[in-house]
Structure 1
C-alpha cells in the first residue's frame, strides 16, 4: 500500500514538474486571483471640504472639467446616492475616521473634542503593520492635541490649524510649523506622493483631506480665469420661497457674512453668486489635478492594481437654493456627497453608477474589511463589499443623518433626517420649528413641505417610525452639551 502511494506521488511530481520549471503553475490566472484576494491593499482616501455631489463632469455638471475624477469613476464605481452622516466639517471628519456618528464619538460640532476612548481606523491599521499618513485638514481636536497637531495613528503628519490658508500656507509637519510657498492643494499632493513613493515593503494608507473648495474659494492661479466666458445657469431652487420651511431658516442671518466673503453681508446677490460659482469650481479643478498626480504615481510605481482609491467630501454645499450658502441644513445640496471608489484587484464591474443609498460611515467599515481586519462591532456603517465585488443586494432602505447646534451659529437648530430613495423626513430638536416631509419623486428640489397634507399622512407616519427605529439602532441620545 505504501509503495503504491509513493508511486502515485512520483507520477504526480513528474507531471507537474514542467510547470514548476516554467513558472506557469504559480503564475496562472488562478494563483494570481488567489494572491490578489489575500493581499492587503494600499489606501488613498481623498476628501474635499464642501464639494457637492454634482460638482464633477462625470456627474453631469454644467461646465466643470474633472478628467481625473472622471477617470476614477470610469475605472471604478460611482455611487450616485452618497450621503454624509452629518453636514458639518469637524464632526464629519471625525466620523470618517471612527466609523461612528457624532453622538457616539463626541465631536458634535466644530468646537467639540473627540472622546479619548474612541479609536480611529488609522490607529488600528498602524497596529496591524500599515504605514499611515495624514495630509490636509483635520479641523477637530482631541483632549491632548489641538486642531492641526499630530494625532495618534499616523506615521507622517502634514496639516494646518483650523481652516488654514490657500496661498503660501503654514503647514504643520510632524508637529513643526513651517511656512511654505505655493498653493495648499498642490503642497498636500506633493507630500502625499512622496509618502507613496517611499521604498517600504509595508502596505500603506493615507488620508488626503483638502481645504478646497471651502471658502474663501481661492483657486490656484493657473485656473484664475477658467470659465470666465461661460454663462452660468442658476440652480432651479435659487432664492426659492421659504414658505413651509422652519422658523429659524426663514429668519436666519446669511451664511458667510461673518467671514466677509460677501461684503454687504448677503450671499444671494447675483454679483457675488456669479464670482463665487466660478471660483468654487476652479478650486475643485485644483483637487482634480491632485487626483491626477496620485493616479500617475500609482501607475509609474506599479501600485495601481493593489491600491484602493476613494474620493468623497465631508458634506455638500448650497449654491443659493432657498437663498442659502454653506451646509448644515438637511436639504440634498447639503447632505449629498461625491462618492467614488476604485480598486482594480477586486472591483471588476468598473464604470458602473450605483444608486443604492450609501453613507459616509460606510467608508471606514469598507477600509477595515478590505484591509483584512474585519469591521469592528461598534462601527455604525457597513462594508460596501457586496456592491463593490459581489454585485450583491444592498438592504439599506434609508439613511439617518444628524446635526447639532454649532456655537457660532446658535440660530440653526439641532435636527435629524431620515431619507429613503423617494421620501425625506426632517425632525427638529428645538420646539417651534415645524418638521418637514418631502416627496422627492414629485418634488426633487424640496420646495413643498407636505407634512400636514392629509394625502401624505400614512407616509409621514411611516417615516416617523423609521426615524425612531434608526435612533434605537444607532443608540441615539441628544448630547448633554446640546440645548
Structure 2
C-alpha cells in the first residue's frame, strides 16, 4: 500500500513520464482494476476501511488521526472495537507483519493480529531520510531512505515466515506528495533522471478556487519531479519484494496486491492533493481513483483488466473469499463490501452493481456508471457530473434543466445507502462524531 497516490501516476495506467517497470510487470502478470475508488480521500479512514471493510461512518475515523492518539498517554487503537483483516488471518493460522505506516493509533505496540511490527511514530511525512521509526518497541532514527527500509524489513519478514502462511502489510509512506518535502530535491537513485524532465502528464492549469492547501506546488517543476522520483522509488521496492518471493519459492503461493490508500491530484482541473486540501471538501474522481492490482501466478490469469466500479470497502471480503476464508468475514457491523474475487479468476461479475459511495465528514457522494452526485451539508454546494460526457468533471450540471429526475434518484440512493450502513454514533450527517479532528465546518 502506498500513501497518497493516484492511479494515473503509473505507467500501467497510462502515465508516459514516470518509470514504474516493476508495477507494470505486476499488472501484466495479473489483473488491473481500471475503476477502483476509495471511500474517503484521506489516509487514516481509508486504511481503516481496507482493514475492516467498513466505511468511515461505521468505523468512526473520518479524517487523518491526531498525533496524540498515536503516541503518548492518549494513544489508543482506533480499530479495537472491530474484527480486522489481520485478526481474521491470525485466527486462520497466518503470521502477520507490518512494515511501514500505520496511522491508526497506538503506534508503539503491535495490534490487530500483528506480531511483527515496524512502523513510524506519526502519520505525516517530513522527509524520507533521517526519520524516526519504531522497531522492537523502541523509537530510533533510521539514517537511510525509509522507502528502502520498509522494503528491507518486509523481505526479512518474508524470509522468516516462508515455511508457514503469512500476511505482510507493507505500507509505504511514499510517494506522499504533500508538505514542504515536495520542494526539496529527491535524493534516491531516480533523482538525476527526472532532474530535467518536463513531466507533461502533470497538467498545467489555473489554480482551482477551492484550493485551500498545497498552493506552493501548483505548476512547479520541483514538486512534479519529487513526486515522480518517489513513485519510482516505491516501484524499486515492489521489484525487490517480487524477487524475494521467487527466490524463496513462494511466487505461485502468494497473493500480491498493489494499492494506494486514496487517490491524488497533481494539477488536473487546477487541483493539487486530496479532499481535505479543498474548501469545500473535495470529491473529484482523481481524489478517489486508486491503483488496484492483484497478482498470483497460477491462480490469477495474467493480462487481465476489470472495468467494474469497485471500492476499497470491497477489498476485505474479496481477499478473504479468494483465500477460501469468505465465511470468516465479520458480520457485525455489516460491511457494505462486495466480493469481486470471481474477476480475479477471469470470471464475469454476474449481477455486479456498478455503484460506489464516498464520504468525508460533511461531504458525501455516489458514483454510478454514468453519474457522479456530490452532496454537502448543511448548505452545499451540490455537484452533478455526467462522467461519460465529462470525465474530467469540468461542467457541474446540478440545477440544469433536464437533470431533475437524475438528481432526485441519486439523492435517494445516496441517502438509502448511509441509512442502511452508518452507525448513529459516527454518522456526522445526523449529529454523530468522529475519532479524528474535524476539518469541514
For residues 200 and 315 of structure 1, the distance between their equivalents in structure 2, rounded to whole angstroms, comes to: 30
Q: Indicate if the aligned counterparts of 2:83 and 2:330 stay in contact, CA closer than 8 A.
A: no
Give RMSD over aligned pairs.
Answer: 2.1
For residues 148 and 319 of structure 1, the distance between their equivalents in structure 2, rounded to whole angstroms, comes to: 33
For residues 241 and 67 of structure 1, the distance between their equivalents in structure 2, rounded to whole angstroms, comes to: 33
Match of residue 10 from structure 2: 56
Runs of 5+ unmatched residues, structure 2: 67-76, 276-281, 435-440
Match of 2:360 among 403, 406, 412: 403
Match of 2:160 among 198, 201, 210: 198
For residues 267 and 192 of structure 1, the distance between their equivalents in structure 2, rounded to whole angstroms, comes to: 32
Match of residue 293 from structure 2: 340
Q: Is the alpha carbon distance of 1:357 and 1:231 closer, same or farther for their aligned partners in structure 2, counting shifts above 3 Å?
A: same
Match of residue 383 from structure 1: 339
Q: Is the alpha carbon distance of 1:200 and 1:439 closer, same or farther for their aligned partners in structure 2, counting shifts above 3 Å?
A: closer
Task: Give 3-state SS (helix, strand or coil) of 1:116's partner.
Answer: coil
For residues 241 and 283 of structure 1, the distance between their equivalents in structure 2, rounded to whole angstroms, comes to: 25
Match of residue 181 from structure 1: 143
Match of 1:160 among 120, 128, 139: 120
Match of residue 303 from structure 1: 250
Match of residue 224 from structure 1: 191
For residues 415 and 52 of structure 1, the distance between their equivalents in structure 2, rounded to whole angstroms, comes to: 20
After TM superposition, what 4+ stretches of structure 1 lie above 6 angstroms from structure 2?
none
Match of residue 259 from structure 1: none
Task: Give 3-state SS (helix, strand or coil) of 1:452's partner.
Answer: coil
Once the two structures are superposed, the pairs formed by residues 68-467 of structure 1 within 5 Å of their partners are: 68-111=22-65, 114-141=78-105, 145=106, 147=107, 149-162=109-122, 163-164=124-125, 165-198=127-160, 201-214=163-176, 215=178, 216-217=181-182, 219-233=186-200, 238-239=205-206, 249=210, 253=212, 255-256=213-214, 266-268=216-218, 270=219, 273-328=220-275, 329-348=282-301, 350-374=302-326, 375-377=329-331, 378-394=334-350, 395-404=352-361, 414-431=362-379, 433-467=380-414
For residues 473 and 389 of structure 1, the distance between their equivalents in structure 2, rounded to whole angstroms, comes to: 31
Match of residue 20 from structure 1: none
- State the Cα distance separating 1:108 from its structure 2 match: 1.6
For residues 307 and 205 of structure 1, the distance between their equivalents in structure 2, rounded to whole angstroms, comes to: 9
For residues 291 and 148 of structure 1, the distance between their equivalents in structure 2, rounded to whole angstroms, comes to: 26
For residues 8 and 247 of structure 2, the distance between their equivalents in structure 1, rounded to whole angstroms, comes to: 30
Runs of 5+ unmatched residues, structure 1: 1-46, 243-248, 257-264, 405-413
Q: Indicate if the aligned counterparts of 2:385 and 2:393 stay in contact, CA closer than 8 A.
A: yes
Give the TM-score normalised by the residue count of structure 2. 0.86
Q: Indicate if the aligned counterparts of 1:426 and 1:435 stay in contact, CA closer than 8 A.
A: yes
For residues 169 and 163 of structure 2, the distance between their equivalents in structure 1, rounded to whole angstroms, comes to: 19
Task: Give 3-state SS (helix, strand or coil) of 1:470's partner.
Answer: helix
For residues 461 and 476 of structure 1, the distance between their equivalents in structure 2, rounded to whole angstroms, comes to: 24
Larger Rg: 1
1:1-47 per-position Cα deviation (integer Å, ceiling 9, x unaligned): xxxxxxxxxxxxxxxxxxxxxxxxxxxxxxxxxxxxxxxxxxxxxx1
